[in-house]
Amino acid sequence: MGFVQRAGETMQDAADSCGAPDFFDEREAAAKRYGFRIATFCAVDRPDDHPLRPKDYVPHDAFWTKRGYTKRPDIVAKFEWRDLNEAVATDKPMTFWLRELDR
């Protein structure tokens, strides 16, 4: 198996702060050093009326698109975890975003 970098909540934290560009620059540079041609991540899909979604939530799609990522609704994974409002863990759909890396 090749190098895999998992970002998870770290990416969300970075996207919420002024450190987001640095986070992505470093992540993409590491992928290039390992010879990867594509950077990817997945983001949880939540409905607009999700009970835990903040009222003032603004999706980060514009930020990711500006960085050259393309949302791929045809590539979806499911990860299981327990949300704060759940008694048990449930599957959460995660849509992938991809970007070709410059050589």
Q: Where are the domains of the chain?
A: 9-100
- Adjacent-strand bridge partners of 72: 96
Q: Kindly report the three-state secondary structure assignment for every residue of 33-97.
A: HCCCCEEEEEEECCCCCCCCCCCCCCCCHHHHHHCCCEEEEEEEEEEEECCCCCCCCEEEEEEEE
- Successive 10-residue mean pLDDT values, the chain, 103 residues: 42 54 87 93 89 86 93 96 92 95 80
The model's pTM: 0.74
Q: Is 5 helix (H, G, I), strand (E, B) or coil?
A: coil
